Amino acid sequence: MNKLYIVKIGGHVLDDEPALQKFLKDFASIQAPKILIHGGGSIATKIGNSLGIESKYVDGRRITDGPTRDLVTMVYGGLINKQMVARLQVLQCNAMGVTGADGNLLKAVKRPVKQIDYGLVGDITPEDVNSTLLYFLLKQNTVPVFASLTHAQGEMLNTNADTIASVLAISLSKHFDTRLIFCFEKPGVLKDVTDETSVIRHLNKDLYERLLAEGSFHDGILPKLENAFAAIRSGVREVLIGEHTQLIANTGYETKGTLITLQ
Amino acid sequence: MNKLYIVKIGGHVLDDEPALQKFLKDFASIQAPKILIHGGGSIATKIGNSLGIESKYVDGRRITDGPTRDLVTMVYGGLINKQMVARLQVLQCNAMGVTGADGNLLKAVKRPVKQIDYGLVGDITPEDVNSTLLYFLLKQNTVPVFASLTHAQGEMLNTNADTIASVLAISLSKHFDTRLIFCFEKPGVLKDVTDETSVIRHLNKDLYERLLAEGSFHDGILPKLENAFAAIRSGVREVLIGEHTQLIANTGYETKGTLITLQ
């Protein structure tokens, strides 16, 4: 099977122009089928403030109301996505900016209201991916660039970018030998959160479960690890958690971040 | 050759919710390959005002400065485009929202500065269309929905939606028997601009040139007619100028608007 790289970048990189330019250059240089997933940076909050749209929280959980959904549709799906696509084009990368609504690539279910009404949030599973169209787009040498939005019943929905990356990786693992790369600000999963040199270089299911039972992981990394192992358990060959500056190394054999595999 | 419908809708429809819903339903029901091109409605101006972005004019011509370009990228390329795509999906139309940057579908040249600096505006020709990718998308039964944006040298650019429609029609005429439909608020090209029943039902090159010499056309319709005949002279089989409410009739044999052909 051909190699496929699915790369998720976090919001911090989007706010740091030199870091973003380096990242895009590195991403464009990957000589294999690839997909990029991004959320939004502080620009969404800034534009939201100007428009009088406030972030809402219930019990510490972020709620997506109508104005917030329109804001992220504009800023993630429009401004950030298209700026990134235009910049990748000039780097000879035939990027194609999409949301889950485009080509029905990610058909979600609006999150059911239980204790909390999260609002206009979309939940997705690997079965919700239009992998046929994605596969054909990749075969045409286009590079899908996903904004973290899905759709259901005629409406755009907000969806976590890590989840989108994980779900895409699972779905495409039937066509490709897939490496899912989560880029963030740390060099990898750390044994000691205060020591950046304490990167766990390789994490398999057994070690993960042991460290989890020992309570070794920092709260901030747990959702990423859950997404990573969800992918690994469902057929994704490798997940890499690492720093956005290390993308080139982390697409190779001698990775700098935390490489996660089943065995 | 297979039939292809390329439909451009103006901003007024976007501001009229019941009209937009009817239009989208009619568009979704067209049983042939099809492409939609849209500009923006008054929502762009409204959001621009809230963000303190003013429309700029020099000698009566609209200028696209940086903040205006970002505004249209957000609102046309993000909010309006994705809302329309999500709504078409629910109508069983596999819409795929794009700008000219996506998949390098429309690579522009930034308009050169002569008497007026139009700012971040992209000029395009039929040679600038990535018709291979468009053809492939149409073959996959996806329906490209274009926001009126192009790109050059890493930047998004504002481009007239009528021009995009015309250039796409010319480029795709080598693959399809193409009808280009301009939808607006009038029932068609009028002999007498004050009389809505005076629709010219059929206009060919000879009649157009005669009426043009006689000064019969209202200023407002002239740019549309120029775009229409540019398309007709370059191989587009038919252009239809008509009311957005008449889309179904205007995709058939008994058209209600002004049908424009070479002969």
CB of A143 less than 8 A from some CB of B: no
Distance CA(A123)–CA(A14), nearest Å, equals 25
Q: What mean pLDDT is predicted for residues B130-153? A: 97
Please choose, from the candidates B46, B49, B168, B30, the residue with its C-alpha nearest in 3D space to the C-alpha of residue B99: B168
CATH 3.40.1160.10 is held by the domain B3-260: yes
Cβ-based burial of B22 (10 A; exposed 0-12, middle 13-18, buried ≥19): middle
Q: What mean pLDDT is predicted for residues B217-233? A: 90
pTM: 0.96
The pLDDT of residue B235 is 94
- The interface predicted TM-score of the complex, written ipTM, equals 0.95
Q: Do A95 and B101 touch (CB under 8 A)?
A: yes
Distance CA(B171)–CA(B186), nearest Å, equals 27
Question: How many separate helices (H) and strands (E) can be counted in chain B?
Answer: 10, 14
Interface test with A, best of B24, B75, B82 (most A CBs within 10 A): B82
The pLDDT of residue A129 is 98
Contact yes or no for A261/A238 (Cβ under 8 A): yes
Binned at pLDDT 50, 70 and 90, residue B1 comes out as confident
Cβ-based burial of A192 (10 A; exposed 0-12, middle 13-18, buried ≥19): exposed
The pLDDT of residue A11 is 79
Residue type, position A242, single letter = G
Question: How many separate helices (H) and strands (E) can be counted in chain A?
Answer: 10, 14
B-chain CB neighbours of A82 within 8 Å are: 73, 77-78, 99, 101-102, 149, 156
Distance CA(B48)–CA(A114), nearest Å, equals 37
The pLDDT of residue A70 is 97
List of residues 6+ apart from B16 with CB closer than 8 A: none
Is the Cα torsion angle B246, B126, A94, A69 positive or negative in sign? negative
Distance CA(A211)–CA(B96), nearest Å, equals 44
Residue type, position B179, single letter = R
Radius of gyration of chain A (CA): 18
The pLDDT of residue B42 is 87
Question: Token pair of A50, please?
Answer: 């100007």
Interface A:B, Cβ pairs < 8 A: 129
Distance CA(B104)–CA(B255), nearest Å, equals 34
The pLDDT of residue A39 is 86
Question: Given A85, A90, A153, which is nearest B90 (Cβ)?
Answer: A153
How distant, in Å, are the alpha carbons of A64, B138, B195, B204, B222 from that of B216? 54, 39, 13, 15, 10
CB of B47 less than 8 A from some CB of A: yes
Is the Cα torsion angle B213, B214, B219, B223 positive or negative in sign? negative
The answer for B 93-112 residues in CB contact with A (under 8 A) is 94-99, 101-104, 107
pLDDT in tens, B166-178: 999 999 999 999 9
Q: Do A102 and B96 touch (CB under 8 A)?
A: yes
Question: Given B74, B82, B142, which is nearest A99 (Cβ)?
Answer: B82
Contact yes or no for B38/B80 (Cβ under 8 A): yes
Phi/psi of residue A54, nearest 5 degrees: -100, 145
Binned at pLDDT 50, 70 and 90, residue B83 comes out as very high
Give domain limits for chain B.
Answer: 3-260
Q: Distance (Å) from the C-alpha of residue A24 to the closest C-alpha of chain B?
A: 12
Q: What is the mean pLDDT of chain B?
A: 95
Start-end of H helices in chain A:
11-14, 17-28, 42-50, 66-74, 81-90, 131-139, 161-172, 205-213, 222-233, 247-250
Q: Do A154 and B87 touch (CB under 8 A)?
A: yes
A-chain CB neighbours of B133 within 8 Å are: 140, 142
Is it the case that residue B41 has pLDDT exceeding 80? Answer: no
**Domain A3-54+68-107+124-260 fold:** Carbamate kinase (3.40.1160)
The pLDDT of residue A60 is 75
CB of B155 less than 8 A from some CB of A: yes
Q: Do B103 and A70 touch (CB under 8 A)?
A: no
Distance CA(B77)–CA(B150), nearest Å, equals 10
Q: Do B154 and A79 touch (CB under 8 A)?
A: no
B-chain CB neighbours of A141 within 8 Å are: none
Q: What mean pLDDT is predicted for residues B218-228? A: 89
Distance CA(B72)–CA(B149), nearest Å, equals 8
CB of B42 less than 8 A from some CB of A: no
Q: Do B103 and A142 touch (CB under 8 A)?
A: yes
> Distance from CA of residue B16 to its chain's centroid?
18
List of residues 6+ apart from B105 with CB closer than 8 A: B98, B99, B129, B130, B133, B134, B144, B146
Distance CA(B119)–CA(B139), nearest Å, equals 36
Q: How does pLDDT run along chain A (263 residues), one tens digit per residue? A: 899 999 999 878 999 999 999 999 999 999 999 999 998 878 999 999 999 998 888 877 789 999 999 999 999 999 999 999 999 999 999 999 999 999 999 999 999 999 999 999 999 999 999 999 999 999 999 999 999 999 999 999 999 999 999 999 999 999 999 999 999 999 999 988 889 999 999 999 999 999 999 988 888 889 899 999 999 999 999 999 999 999 999 999 999 999 999 99
Please choose, from the candidates B90, B102, B95, B100, the residue with its C-alpha nearest in 3D space to the C-alpha of residue B143: B95
* End-to-end Cα, chain B, rounded Å: 20
The answer for B 74-93 residues in CB contact with A (under 8 A) is 74-79, 81-83, 85-87, 89-90
Q: Do B94 and A73 touch (CB under 8 A)?
A: no
Question: Given B51, B83, B101, which is nearest A82 (Cβ)?
Answer: B101
Binned at pLDDT 50, 70 and 90, residue B200 comes out as very high
A-chain CB neighbours of B150 within 8 Å are: none
Question: Token pair of B237, please?
Answer: 């089989």
Is it the case that residue B222 has pLDDT exceeding 80? Answer: yes
List of residues 6+ apart from B62 with CB closer than 8 A: B55, B56, B118
Q: Distance (Å) from the C-alpha of residue A99 to the closest C-alpha of chain B?
A: 8
